[in-house]
A and B are shown apart, each in its own frame.
Chain A
Amino acid sequence: MRLDPSCDLVDDARQVSRTRAGLGSGLEIVIPGPLKDIWTNVPVEEDFAARSPYLLVKDGPGYEIRDGRSGEGYSVRIPPEPRWYGAHTSRGTEMRRVGVLQGTYLGIYISNACLYWYSNPPQNCRFCTTGSNVGVNEMAEKHLDDVVEVARAAKEESGVTFVHFNSGYQAGRDLEQAAPYVQAVKERVGALVGVQLMPTRDLWKYDQLIDLGADHFSFCYEFHNPEYFARYLPGKQKTVGQETFFRALEYTAKLLGKGAVSGEIIAGVEPVEDTLRAIDYITSVGAFPTVCVFRPVIGADMESHPVPRYEDMRPVFEHVYQACKRNGIPIGVAPNIEVSLICQPDDTRYLAPPGPTTWIYETQLKLMRKVARPLFRRKLAPRRARAGVAALEPAC
């Protein structure tokens, strides 16, 4: 999307801040609609954005996206920057450098950096700039007390219900590193907690992390086609392999139940047929697919890779809805979780084909949301973990 000079993003918008994998490099906007609002992070910095037919224009107090091809306009909302972004923790850390909102949830990158970046030669995922962000736009090390204060501020001021921790490769100590953060947010703040880490073959560790309070696991295996997995994810291929992702996804989906675990994939690099196979597989094991449209971010190895076409991406998201419906995956049930970096499954409701199966599914989802309300209320209150962090260390 291009930005018209009329836009006043300094006063009106969340600071465009590239954190985590670099995917949050765009402008956060909300697209209102009759079924639900869609939160999205729109590329504005990259060279390809300068060629977009879409122009963001400030029109009076509001904003509109205008399509240069048709002249059509669509009103959008620009979520303001939370006050806590510029506040400092008791330790003097600027809060935005600890965690940021991505949509309506708080995202925190907990590790110093993905160790794939420190290999010689680097084994980083070719689309990622995580190693380039941490220490540049974020604090290189996230102190536990800072994380708790930021999570509390985000909950109190922004109504955040979900805190998402992720990290890159930590040489097999990934879950151990995340554990204190999970426990701290659960016990001292109260929120749904999600974890996105490299998978482990020690599947018992997931039981322990659930005992500490983890409500959600996300597995970024990116590409379903094994050749693409190996080519673009050299570190993941070398250290864990694609099968480890599948086993961990299946294991945690069984533990937590349908709709609590996600498989994250990238659309627009591997053949579309493989992306559809990924969606079918993920939903068949009771998880939900989170699909990122490939973005060639500045500074990434794949910076010059072609941008996906709308015509190829739309069928992917139609398929997401159909696969979730077919497999009875609950979508959009948890309160106030809007993810701007990916198209989440309940955003795809706009592509749902009319008919009795859609009506039945939507009715079931509505009922689930109602029934689940007391459960989520309990989960959003601070509560003691069932185990201690030490439980993640093996007994022998």
Chain B
Amino acid sequence: MLTGVADTEGRAKLDHELSRNPAFAGVVDAVSDAAEAFSIDPRAGGLEFASLEAATSVPSRCRMKLFRPREEKDRLCAFFFKKSNIAGSRDRFSYGAVEFLPDRLRPEEIRTWIAWLASGLDPALRPSNLKRAFLYTIPE
């Protein structure tokens, strides 16, 4: 379930990111169909999903950010991280990223990402093709 896209800011963000990278639509659809609840952060770079805490529906620290690392290349990236718990901190605790080509992304792969995010980034559920290190800068 995807929340926060009914309001103007959320909708505008989603439309903007989908227009730049139509391949993200498959991920958006899968998140929308998921049983667990997620929201998007309209102010974050790329398209950033947060899992929502079951009890409070508040975004947790666990995030998945979709973005294009290099504008001149087709390769896209799903980056998984935890946000800092400290107010005002921009720190991000990386758990790794999956790189993919737009026309090669399979729905079952997306579902593993969603399950991992919803689990709180449980190490036992890490995607098998997760990369831990990157040569590019992740947008904030």
Contact = CB atoms under 8 A, between A and B. Distances in A.
Interface of A: 3, 9-10, 15-18, 25, 27, 44-45, 112-114, 117-118, 122, 124, 129-137, 139-140, 297-299, 303-304
Contact of A298 (B82, B88, B132): B82
B93 A3 contact: no
Given A122-B132, A140-B135, A15 B89 contact: yes
Contacts of B89: 9, 15-17
B93 A298 contact: yes
B132 A3 contact: no
B132 A135 contact: no
B85 A45 contact: yes
A25 B84 CA distance: 10
A140 B134 contact: yes
Nearest to A301: B123
Given A16-B84, A299-B95, A135 B135 contact: yes
A124 B86 CA distance: 28
Interface in B63-104: 81-82, 84-96
B137 A25 contact: no
A299 B82 contact: yes
Contacts, number: 87
Nearest to A141: B135
B93 A299 contact: yes
A16 B93 contact: no
A133 B94 contact: yes
Given A9-B86, A45-B85, A303-B123, A113 B91 contact: no
Interface in B91-119: 91-96
Q: Is the interface of A mostly helix, strand, loop or mixed?
A: loop
A113 B133 contact: yes
Residue in A129, A132, A133 with the greatest tally of chain B CB atoms within 10 Å:
A132
Given A124-B133, A135-B135, 17 more contacts: A9-B86, A9-B88, A9-B89, A15-B91, A44-B85, A112-B135, A113-B135, A122-B133, A124-B132, A129-B94, A132-B133, A135-B137, A135-B138, A139-B137, A140-B134, A140-B135, A298-B93
A134 B133 contact: yes
B99 to A, nearest CB: 13
Contacts of B86: 3, 9, 16, 27, 44-45
A17 B133 CA distance: 18
A240 B84 CA distance: 35
Given A112-B135, A117-B133, A303-B123, A132 B88 contact: no
A289 B63 CA distance: 39
Interface string B115-137: 00000000100000000111111
Contacts of B88: 9-10, 15
Contacts of A298: 82, 93
Contacts of A17: 89-91
Contacts of A304: 123
A18 B123 contact: no
Interface residue tally on B, bucketed by range? 20 to 34
Given A113-B133, A139-B137, A132 B87 contact: no
B85 to A, nearest CB: 6
Contacts of A27: 86
A50 to B, nearest CB: 9
A48 to B, nearest CB: 13
Given A16-B91, A18-B91, A140 B136 contact: yes
Nearest to A124: B132
Contacts of A18: 91, 93
Contacts of A134: 133-134
A187 B42 CA distance: 46
Contacts of A118: 133
Nearest to B85: A45
A131 B136 CA distance: 11
B95 A132 contact: yes
A137 B134 contact: no
Nearest to A116: B133
CB-CB nearest 5 A-B residue pairs: A131-B133, A117-B133, A10-B88, A132-B94, A298-B93
Contacts of A10: 87-88
A120 to B, nearest CB: 10
B92 A135 contact: no
Contacts of A3: 86
A16 B88 CA distance: 9
Contacts of B138: 135-136
Nearest to B90: A15
A348 B95 CA distance: 35
Contacts of B133: 113-114, 117-118, 122, 124, 130-132, 134-135
16 contacts: A9-B88, A10-B88, A15-B88, A17-B89, A112-B135, A114-B133, A117-B132, A129-B93, A130-B133, A131-B133, A132-B93, A132-B133, A135-B134, A135-B136, A298-B93, A299-B95
